[in-house]
Each structure stands twice: as structure tokens, then as C-alpha cells.
Amino acid sequence: MDHSVPIMLIATTDPDSRRVLEDELRRRYGADYEVVACAGHAHGRAVLEGLRRWNRPVALILGCYGPADRGGLDFLRRAYGFHPAAKRAVVVTWGDFASAPTVFRAIAQGYAELLIIRPERSRDEEFHGAITDALDDWHLAQGVGFEAVRLIGDVGDERTHALRDSLSRNHIPVGFHPAGSEAAKQALQRLGLRDPALPVLVLEFTASPTVLENPSDLEIAEAMGVTRPPPADKVFDVVVVGAGPSGLATAVYASSEGLSTMVVEGEAVGGQAGTSSLIRNYPGFSRGVSGAHLAFRSFHQAWTLGTDFLFLRKVEGLGLDGALYAVSISDGSVVRCRTVVVATGVDYRRLGTPQLEDLVGRGVFYGATVSEAPSMAGKQVCVVGGGNSAGQAVLHLAKFAKKVTLLVRGPTLSVSMSDYLISQLEATRNVAIRYGTVIVGARDRDGFLAAVKVAAAGTPDATPGEEIEAGGLFVLIGSVPRTSWLPDTVERDPAGFLRTGVNRDIGDTGPMRPDRHPMALETSMPGLFAIGDVRAGSIKRVATAVGDGATVVSMLHAYLAENPLPASSTAPGEAAAPGELPGDVRFN
């Protein structure tokens, strides 16, 4: 037996469930996975211990809960310690509603990650849909499989880390090979590269492999050829800046309703939500959904409906071209449109400590970088933050790291984190929560993070009181809106978030739209809308961001109906320089 073949393990004292599950899994997955069925929980734990010693990958662990097996939930809880990266599912029989409260409570406490109903017939596709979703999430987290792109670079290089994270979040199968490793040496030798400028990116899917040495984002975008700037005479009904949940929702609804739509994204689809390992409170996904999968499905839906995309390109400015907006792109092109939707979201606030900033990419990471989690195996890790993103990052890292410590400045999580996440954090054995704690420094070893220095929040001069061993630090604190590309005339609140509709003072309108109040999601500039996290007063949840994206489309229709496209605007004109928006083209 090939020891690289992943394991699917079943352990239950219920002989009927064991027979049904074993038959279904062997028949459907036996060619690609080794299916192991254990007659009891002690046997299952012994097998898992042996698989851990033999370094066998375990993709899925199934336990049962019902009248014939009351020990399955405890088995799944204990299984976490043997193979924390494996997906754990509790299988129930249809109609056993009396067991539901116990099962739901156990899932909320982290005993298992998903609930599956036992198949009662052959080819039960609802059952297999749950299984394949779990396997897909496991493979995505492991970073194994087809290498459409091969990345060779230094482990501690910030640019290498950024490329690896961006490619993974964009759902591009990437294989990372550390410089100096045998695989990297062989790959470079085959390519005839003796002393290349790292990182090296190899596009394996092109007719002959395309090799890029230390490429810029624009060079990568052009080499991949997925999206290209539109013709100069193209006028879009709407340009959406940002492909997070709100921007993608706008694209889906706008394109489906006949509006010509362009989405510009400088990093990766999904925004911050795309980095979440498991979103459990998004309506319609009872088993939860990873941010990467949710984002990719939304992107594919919008693309199928006709949305144009520009990836790995940033918007650098906004100007006017007659009655149109002119959106300046980092590749030097200008996209003309009738309306603009700002869905750029936010960046995590930086800690600002020089010792930590010097270690970014070498143990210090801003955001929940899912691609880095496997590299934390066996290490002690710290996460800074108190929101849902921080909680999800802790739970994902805990599947790989020896111990994860969540550092929270405040005295509680209840005001900033969902209750289901708090319950799971408290129930996860290798997770510790430190309240009233701030980071004030770091210690490195050979250029990589080795420990963080912490102090009690409010300590005079922030004198370090303790050092915590840490091979990784993930920072998810605060938020800074991405609005620097917008003209200063667009109104913001004191924190820099864009004011919209009722959140701003209403005065005279400019000549483009006389005698009209701004719509609910419209900024101080007519035809310029803001949605999602970048909007002042927004609720930082994926569902509300998607709601903004759906709502703004009705406002786009209203604006476009009020402002028909002049015939003279169909030909290219001379766009104003980025940021040059006259003051009379705004709400005062």
C-alpha cells in the first residue's frame, strides 16, 4: 500500500452504520483513498495512533451518534489529538431527532466539524456531496495535488509568502518548493536556471512552461492571460473595485440583470473573508463553508453571467471623462464607466513595533493566511485579535500547531466574537486565551520569529512582562479602509470609512443630478457608491456585505435611468488625471 494515500476512517459500535458507511465509501472512493473500518472506539483510537506513528495522512474521520452508539462524539473529540488536520464528521440516522440537541452542542464545542446523515440507499448524493466537500476543504488546506503553478523561493521571504498566499486564495493550484530543497534544485536544473532571481514562478499549464523570475503582479497577470484590459472605447455600466463578498455579490446581481460590469481586484477574490478557514454562520451552509470556496463559487458565478475581471491589478485613481468616470489601473490603462462601486474592504492594522515589522513573512503575518498553517506543524503560535476572523484563524491553526495562544487586549470576547466561535475556542485543548494582553516586542532566532514579548494592557510604558515562545504570529486587529486611491473630496468619517446616504449631511447636489438626495449607499460623489466593510457604519459580517452588494444594484439601475449615456460618450475621450474631480460634481 502506498503510504501517501490518504485514509478515510470509520469507528462505530453500530454494526449497521459501519456496514453502510464502509460499503458506500469503498465503492465511491476506494480507488483514491484507503478506507479503514473499526469495530469500536478503542480500536479506532489505536489505529489512529499507529497511523500517526507511520506518518500516514488522514483526510476524514467518521464517528456515529445514536441509540446504537453513544460514544461516537467522545471518540471524535479524542481523535483530534491524533490527527488535528483531519476533517471530523458525526454521522446520524434520519429521524433520530432526539439526538439533535446533543449533536449540535457537541459540534458547537468542537467535537466534530460537520454533521452527515447516514445514507439509506445507494447513490445517496446528498451524503456524498457532504463527503466530497469535506475532502475538498482538506486538500485545499494541505496544499497537495495538481501543481498548475510551481513556486520556488526562500521560506522567509516576504514576497514569496505574498505570492503563495495570493495564488492559493485565488484558487490556483500552487506547489511551493523552498529554495535549496532537492525538489527546487531539480526543477531549476530542468529549466536551465543556475542563479535565478528568486522567487521563481513556473506556469506549468502553458503550452511550454512559462518561467518568471521575481515577477511583479502585473507580469504574472499578463503571463496567465486570464483577464485583459478592455478595449479603449468600451464603456461599462459599472466598475466594481474589490472582489470581496460585497463586490462579488454586486457583480453577480448586476451582470444577471443586464448591466455591463467590470471587477478590478489587486490581490485575491474573497477579500478578508477568503482567508477564513470555516465560516459557520453564513445562511444556507449548515456544514459551514471555507471563505476560499465561498469566494471562488461567487467569482465563477459572476464570470459565467458575463462579468469582466481584472486580477492582480490595483485601482490607482478616479477621474472624469466628460459625463463618465475614468478609473486608472496600475497597468497604465483607464477603464471608463457610468458608475463606480467601492468594495475595497479594509486592511488589518499594523502593530507598528519595529522588531515585529522586520519579521513579516518570517514568522509574522498580517491576516489569517491559510497557506501558512501547515508550516506551523509542531510549533507554538500566537494570534492577536478579538473578532471572528481571529477566532477562525485560531481554530484552523490549532489543527497543525502544537499550541495556539489568542492574545486579546480587552477583558472579554463576547462583544466582538460570535458565541459559537468562543465555545469552540474554549473546548479546543491546544488553545489558550490570554485577556488584557498586548504585544510589545519580539525575539528572533537566525532571522525568524522565536518568541513574542507581551505585557498587560495599560501597563505604563508597555514594559514587557513575559516572553511567549512562538514560531508564528498572526495579527488580525482593527481595520484601515482602503480608500487612499479616492479623491479627498469623497467624504469620510474620522476613521477614514466612506460616508454614504443617511450617514452624511445632505446639501445641494451638483449639476449632474440636480435636486436629488443621495441614495442609501451613495457617497458624496454622484454615481459613486460604497458597500461592505469600507462603508461607514457597516456591520462586519459576510452576509451583510453580500446584502450590500445585492442592494446597491437597484440603486445603480435608478442612477443609470436618471443619467442616460450621452451619444458623445461612446467614443474615447481624454480622462482627467486621477483624483481630479471638480467640486461641483458631488453632494455638498
Residues 269-290: tens digit of each pLDDT:
887 776 776 777 788 887 777 7
Task: List residues bridging with 176 in a β-sheet.
Answer: 151
Cα dihedral 291, 295, 297, 303, rounded to 10, equals: -170
Determine which of 57-71, 153-167, 261-275, 459-473 has the lowest per-residue pLDDT on average.
459-473
Is 112 in contact with 134 (CB distance < 8 Å)? no
Cα dihedral 238→522→532→583 (10° resolution)? 90
pLDDT in tens, 487-541: 999 999 999 999 999 654 444 333 344 457 889 999 999 999 999 999 999 988 8
**464, pLDDT greater than 60:** no
Q: Across the strands, what pairs with 108?
A: none
pLDDT band at 4 (very low <50, low <70, confident <90, very high): confident
As a whole number, the mean pLDDT across the chain is 87
All cell numbers assigned to 449: 520569529
Compute the average pLDDT of residues 544-562. Answer: 96
Contact 64, 96 (CB under 8 A): no
- Of the pLDDT bands very low, low, confident and very high (cuts 50, 70, 90), residue 144 is low
Task: Look at the chain and count its residues.
Answer: 588
Q: Write the CA distances from 5 to 55, 345, 375, integer angstroms.
A: 11, 40, 21
Q: Quickly tell me which residue has 460604497 as its cell.
A: 530
Omega of the bond prior to 199 within 30 degrees of 0, cis? yes
Percent above pLDDT 90 for the chain: 58
Dihedral pair phi/psi, residue 371, rounded to 5° = -65, -20
Q: By C-alpha distance, which of 179, 162, 169 is closest to 143?
A: 169
Cα distances (angstroms) measured from residue 256 to each of 261, 301, 469, 550: 10, 10, 52, 11
383-396: average pLDDT? 92
Q: What is the pLDDT of residue 470?
A: 95
Q: What is the pLDDT of residue 567?
A: 63
* 135 band by pLDDT with thresholds 50, 70 and 90: very high
pLDDT exceeds 60 at position 581: no
Residue found under cell 467614443 = 571
CA distance 396 to 276: 9
Q: Please calculate the CA angle 549-555-557 and round it to the nearest 5 degrees.
A: 110
d(CA 344, CA 528): 13
Alpha carbon 478 to its chain's center: 17
Q: Mean pLDDT over residues 467-479, rounded?
A: 91
